[in-house]
Structure 1
Amino acid sequence: MRGDNPAALADVSRETRDRLERYAGILQRWNQRINLVSPHDLPHLWSRHIADSLQLADQIPAGGVTLVDMGSGGGFPGLVIACATDAHVTLIESDQRKAAFLREAARVAGARVTVCAQRLEVARVPPAQVVTARALAPLSRLLEWGTRFLQPDGFCLFLKGRNAEEELTTARADWHMATTRIPSRTNTDGVILKLSDIRRVKDHNNE
């Protein structure tokens, strides 16, 4: 196994470890042909990408919940979550080459996913109980997309960096939401935003 020491796997099951190691192996091979992870980040694949994504698995209820991951790219965080939980995961990725990688990586890893190779603005997938995203867009844009895929009683999990509070302030101009902040275990400036009861702020001029 190449890359940094996967210390993040200390608390996962042997089955999850095997899935993630197979996923990491095929990502490293495909990364020679398409840009899934920056070459500068590849030596830190486990600590910078897999462990970061794996944090979200702790927030996913057991029992085979449905989950939509927006802008999955190389599989972060959606494919990692699929490797580590029993969630039914849909990965939305518009880049056709990355979508092909996601299908093959899921097959090799033995992860249960569906890949939707469409842009988020036009993707048609069943509403899910959980919506996730990592390093994709400002929070306001994530809510525009994510509410299309979220069940009314569901919640969003978004990995955010040092600008999280600023993004929350901006988003609240247009959205009401219940917010839980979960400190990141992999980034001192990072936070997981768990958002529920999301609804758009009414335009008082149109009430």
Structure 2
Amino acid sequence: MGSFQSLPDDHQYRTLSQKTGFSLKQIGILHSRFKQLSQNEETLRRDDFKTIQDLESNPIRSQIIEAFFDRRNFKKDGVGSVEEIGFEEFLTVMSYFRAPTHHITVEQREEMRRTKLRFLFNMHDTDNDGTITLEEYRHVVEELLSRSGAVGRETAKGIADAAMLEVANISGPDEFYEGITFEQFLKILKGVEIETSMHIRFLNMDTTALCK
């Protein structure tokens, strides 16, 4: 595990900045939060996240916690999960919640969108078989739409149901009932703004504001 429990030096900060897109100042803030959560230990475990009050009411609490321990999210082509993470892994997972900068290119925005959606897909593909179930998919759509503030919960449910029919049209009846692949996931969510709406507040910091 990559661990920077002692205060990272400038070289370590700059390496992490290049990897995650966070500024040196933002990395310093997140390092302080990491130390607070871990109680100055070198690694974080699942139980450390379960003490966060802001996370308790989140309907996908367990998926969010598990995402921090999923090797697929460390950008190292890993599989499976780990029992504890160091600061580098923590920072890497946090980077999925960064909002785009004002000077981002169209290509960079599209890549960021795809990366965020892959992260979101992985959260619900818990058995790592390349598909998510229909009920998991409906839940993802409802959460994205209702939390973005664009529509109410009932409207979000209606849109999710309509999206399910679109999945069936794209994949065909037989594939539809086997689950949804990542490519289908991308097609169905093409109209959902994800770049700025996908952020978290459970670390007592608004990552949308943090990453401006």
Q: What is the TM-score with the length of structure 2 in the denominator?
A: 0.28
Q: What is the TM-score with the length of structure 1 in the denominator?
A: 0.28
Going by fraction, where is strand more abundant, 1 or 2?
1
Larger Cα Rg: Structure 1 or Structure 2?
2
Going by fraction, where is helix more abundant, 1 or 2?
2
